[in-house]
Chains A and B, each alone.
Chain A
Amino acid sequence: MSASVLGQSVRRKEDYRFLTGAGTYTDDVSVPGQLYAYFLRSPHAHARIRSIDTQAARAAPGVAAVFVGADLAGQVNGLPCGWLITGLDGQPMKEPPHPPLAQGKVRYVGDALAMVVAASLDQAKDAAESIAVDYEVLPAVVDPAQACAPGAPLVHDEVPANTCYVWGLGDKAAVDAAFAQAGHVTTLAFVNNRLIPNAIEPRAALAQYSRGDDSYTLHVTSQNPHVERLLMTAFVLNLPEHKVRVIAPDVGGGFGSKIFLYPEETVLTWAARQVNRPIKWTAERSESFLADAHGRDHVTRAELALTKDGKFLALRVHTTAAMGAYLSTFASCIPTILYATLLAGQYSTPRIYCEVTAVFTHTAPVDAYRGAGRPEATYVVERLVETAARELKIDPAEIRRRNFITQFPYQTPVALCYDTGNYPATLNEALRLADVAGFESRRKEAESRGKLRGIGYSAYIEACGLAPSNVAGSLGARAGLFEAAEVRVHPTGKVTVFTGSHSHGQGHETTFAQVVAERLGSSVEDVDVVHGDTGRIVFGMGTYGSRSLAVGGTAIVRAVDKVIAKGKKIAAHLLEAAEGDIEFAGGKFTVAGTDRELPFAQVALSAYVPHNYPLDKLEPGLDETAFYDPTNFTFPAGCHICEVEIDRATGETRIVNFTAVDDFGKVVNPMIVEGQVHGGLAQGIGQALLEACVYDRETGQLVTGSLMDYALPRSDDLPSFRVATQETPCTHNPLGVKGCGEAGAIGAPAAVMNAITDALWPLGIRDLPMPATPQTVWRALQSAPKPRGTRA
């Protein structure tokens, strides 16, 4: 057997089909007799629907049907929220109904209120233009900080002050007491800017109903088809779950935005039976902007209490988090369970209190977006830490060292228990790779060119593979958090893996094949991975929260181990040895201490051609299934160091160096991991420098409704990254893996903003809002307290 395939940069098996245009995305799937759907969306942020006249649309050429909210009433329930948050007052969060087509009122620009089904998309659009809606336009509120102010327009009449919940975590009294004793307090106020995910493939769905057996097939751009099916059948459409097959074929990126159950595919599935024809819908980019769930949108005030020598005493945070107009599938747990629990960061801060007010606004729903709560938490902690270091004139690396957690397991004051980590190691490696020692001379050189150069750190932590199910359930989760896998060994020893995880860019087909090939001693080519189909895969919770390898991969390992255990029984029979004497390694079953051996493929053949086989004791076949529910989160962590140059004349910031040293535990495929880090960093840098979702404060119109106004990062906005990994294996899964998908987006924003504020600190500028656009920086420079300030 050759060297281990774990840790090898095996080329992605899926890339051949993607790069040669042979992938199958939802919009590539077409079936005979298919109709096309178009959704009429609200042009107003808030309006009462006095009437909708669809008569002309129903009579328009090619139109098969027109559905409005009233047509669904009584048959289609509202979309559910998957996490119940209980407030400080002991009351459950407010869950106003979320009808898939608006009923009575529209609550954001883009809120769907009618679906037209026609023979062609153009006919559906033509017909939609003839729908006459009489709106009574009402005042709107889009800013979360304004939403709970007295007199703010109400998104839902039954939710006073637009407040979904007020939730808290930590010991408030102890924190207040620590602040009273503090030698120094650093305070910052932040807006964590709202982002629009923009996966390269827009959302799409194709719903089919089969009259013959009363079954449904839904192709949909989903990160978790089983969850989609469960929510849709059990809660919204009241359909028999076993009669609905949900297929998420090749999916072109998700970043969280394709986790959720959306109105469009729900109405499509219901309507496919009403019209007895397949119906397809594919979002246009402008619809993605309007109606995909957005991310972030926090307004926060945060304070860090320290001793004079920089030892953290306590952290106090208040955040107002926007939910948008309706609760999306996991909206409620993002700014709570996935945010407040991360506020310890990498530090042994003994006391932490966080209070979160979740509010409805007249905007698209807000939910998980790459990082989901953890970038927001990291931003709070790392901006505070860096600012405190500057205020106390302590080196930013040194203040972190003084406060790092070094003993594991470590119980934080905000519920999590870190199993392992080595924070000084990632910091030291980042300092080395980034050549921090040479920064001062680079800064001086930049100064001679009229540029302000700054350096910033971000020592982030994330919690991945949300678990275990019973604990999450006690915290309000309405879903399980395990993963399922089936390993089917074919008679020739080739393997098909059926995983409940879903790949939409992560390279699972390669990484999972490496894991299985390693364990079975076979080649990566002999292992195929199937995902994204409730008709083929036993069950699954899908892909989110950087969980696929840690949770889904472990389920696969467990199934493989069952295969090996059964194989030992078969081998024992064939080799006429005791089962306990059989060893399996390098793809061979061996009788310990002898040269008697059988290759794996021969054992597999015996399982399917059981002529010489212990049929009295063992079933034929070699196909095993495992469900795995983790005992804890995994805790990837790392240190990012960003170096920027600011053009004083224009305010433009260029990232000149970016170093990321991440501890993801064991790495299966370094190339794929590096790609994940690069993508995450791009999105994190996008948030820091470029991206901002802007709604007009008066009208609630989406100002950044296209790529002409919403600035996504491009390759030339980014530097050539220096990335490296450190390995502190996770202690509670057999692969020792932690997760890498979100790290870049979590760590980068604080690193970038710490670098910018480092460059501007001598001028008396201590904070800037994200994104730090040229105009924002220029304005800060114009009003800098010490415009000619230089370093001491």
Chain B
Amino acid sequence: MYAFDYVRPQTLKEAAAALRKSDQARFLAGGQSLVQALRLRLARPPLLIDLRAIDELNGIRVANNVVSIGAMTRHADVAAAKEVQRAIPALARVAAGIGDRQVRNQGTLGGSLANADPAADYPAAVLGLGATIVTSKREIPADKFFLGLFETALKPGEIIVRVDFPQPLRAGYAKFRHPASRFALVGVFVCDTTSGVRVAVTGAGPCAFRVKRMEKVLAKAFTPQAIEKIVLPAEGLNSDIHAAADYRAHLVTVMAQRAVTAAAKL
């Protein structure tokens, strides 16, 4: 990797101040994507601002039917948290299925969301649960957060502080794993709430997206059979050597059905 400077601020204010010194600086969360890019010399930031020492970015709290997870909380901690398992078991399962053990022990919720990898698992859960991304500057609803390939609503210098997940009636996640990377080739998060059903897909498009046609049908009948015939058009979906767009479209339907089954069981 290229040489870079490194700071570890203790507060959000210090982090913002560090960024003002170098507009090419990058925030370092769990480092599971950024460090790889550095090692391959694909990124050349002059400064890394490590967020791990900022207390308010850490921790899990449940209050008023909302699960709040600090941005720097590691996947392994979300997966193991009893309060998450009780309140939103599907969310704990999403975290438990990310990457591998090493990734889960380093990777963070905020890092995953800010990076917005098209095949990451968390975006499906965040969008599916209709979570709110609380940043150093504002609150962003999940529906307004994911804008495109590695593109989010975050402005330069804006830091994700925590994510607030409203507790659903029931929810489920089904993922068809990429055979090599174990990212989601297609992952579907289905969530049933008092205000309707949400279906969010990751891995299939440039970023996580909802399938409103399935949501409408599932609101009437929350069964896998109800969406059996709803297949997305392949056009615009991701296509690579492991899954062409039409296969991904097919998998969205199958995974959505399995997510419904999983939700019904939880």
Using a CB–CB distance below 8 Å, which chain A residues touch chain B?
122, 125-126, 286, 649-650, 652, 690, 692, 694, 703-704, 707-712, 773-775, 778-779
Residues of A within 8 A of B180 (CB): 690, 704, 707-712
- In the complex, are the beta carbons of A694 and B241 less than 8 A apart? yes
- In the complex, are the beta carbons of A773 and B179 less than 8 A apart? yes
Residues of B within 8 A of A711 (CB): 179-180
- Which of B13-21, B80-88, B162-170, B242-250 is found at the contact surface with chain A? B242-250
- In the complex, are the beta carbons of A775 and B244 less than 8 A apart? yes
Residues of A within 8 A of B241 (CB): 692, 694, 703-704, 709
Using a CB–CB distance below 8 Å, which chain B residues touch chain A?
1-3, 40-41, 176, 179-181, 241-244, 247, 250-251, 254
Residue in A649, A708, A711, A775 whose Cβ sees the most chain B Cβ within 10 Å: A775
| B251 in complex: contacting residue of A650, A694, A712, CB < 8 Å | A650
- In the complex, are the beta carbons of A125 and B179 less than 8 A apart? no
User: Roughly how many angstroms separate A709 CA and B176 CA in the complex, as a whole number?
Assistant: 15
Residues of B within 8 A of A690 (CB): 179-180
- In the complex, are the beta carbons of A709 and B181 less than 8 A apart? yes
| B247 in complex: contacting residue of A125, A286, A779, CB < 8 Å | A779
- In the complex, are the beta carbons of B179 and A778 less than 8 A apart? no
- In the complex, are the beta carbons of A125 and B250 less than 8 A apart? no
Name which residue of chain A comes closest to B1, CB basis: A122
User: Roughly how many angstroms separate A405 CA and B251 CA in the complex, as a whole number?
Assistant: 48
- In the complex, are the beta carbons of A708 and B181 less than 8 A apart? yes
| A773 in complex: contacting residue of B1, B2, B181, B242, CB < 8 Å | B242
Name which residue of chain B comes closest to A689, CB basis: B179
Residues of B within 8 A of A774 (CB): 176, 179
Residues of A within 8 A of B2 (CB): 122, 126
* B28 CB → nearest A CB, Å: 19
User: Roughly how many angstroms separate A649 CA and B250 CA in the complex, as a whole number?
Assistant: 9
User: Roughly how many angstroms separate A610 CA and B243 CA in the complex, as a whole number?
Assistant: 76
* A120 CB → nearest B CB, Å: 11
Provide the main secondary structure of the chain B interface.
loop
Provide the main secondary structure of the chain A interface.
loop
Residues of B within 8 A of A652 (CB): 176
Residues of A within 8 A of B247 (CB): 775, 778-779
- In the complex, are the beta carbons of B41 and A125 less than 8 A apart? yes
Q: Knowing that A649-B254, A774-B176 touch, tell me 20 more A-B residue pairs with CB under 8 angstroms.
A: A122-B3, A286-B40, A650-B254, A652-B176, A690-B180, A692-B241, A703-B241, A704-B241, A707-B180, A708-B181, A709-B180, A709-B242, A711-B179, A773-B179, A773-B242, A774-B179, A775-B242, A778-B247, A778-B250, A779-B247
Residues of A within 8 A of B181 (CB): 707-709
* A314 CB → nearest B CB, Å: 38
Name which residue of chain B comes closest to A776, CB basis: B247
- In the complex, are the beta carbons of A775 and B243 less than 8 A apart? yes
User: Roughly how many angstroms separate A315 CA and B90 CA in the complex, as a whole number?
Assistant: 56
* A726 CB → nearest B CB, Å: 34
* B7 CB → nearest A CB, Å: 21
User: Roughly how many angstroms separate A278 CA and B206 CA in the complex, as a whole number?
Assistant: 49
User: Roughly how many angstroms separate A778 CA and B40 CA in the complex, as a whole number?
Assistant: 35
User: Roughly how many angstroms separate A652 CA and B178 CA in the complex, as a whole number?
Assistant: 12
Name which residue of chain B comes closest to A129, CB basis: B41
Name which residue of chain B comes closest to A704, CB basis: B241
Name which residue of chain A comes closest to B257, CB basis: A649
14 A-B pairs (CB sep. < 8 Å):
A122-B2, A122-B3, A125-B41, A286-B40, A650-B251, A690-B179, A694-B241, A704-B241, A707-B181, A709-B180, A709-B241, A775-B243, A775-B244, A779-B247
- In the complex, are the beta carbons of A650 and B179 less than 8 A apart? no
Residues of B within 8 A of A650 (CB): 176, 251, 254
Residues of A within 8 A of B1 (CB): 122
Residues of B within 8 A of A122 (CB): 1-3
Residue in B1, B40, B250 whose Cβ sees the most chain A Cβ within 10 Å: B250
User: Roughly how many angstroms separate A692 CA and B241 CA in the complex, as a whole number?
Assistant: 10
User: Roughly how many angstroms separate A136 CA and B130 CA in the complex, as a whole number?
Assistant: 53
* B181 CB → nearest A CB, Å: 4
User: Roughly how many angstroms separate A690 CA and B250 CA in the complex, as a whole number?
Assistant: 21
* B255 CB → nearest A CB, Å: 9
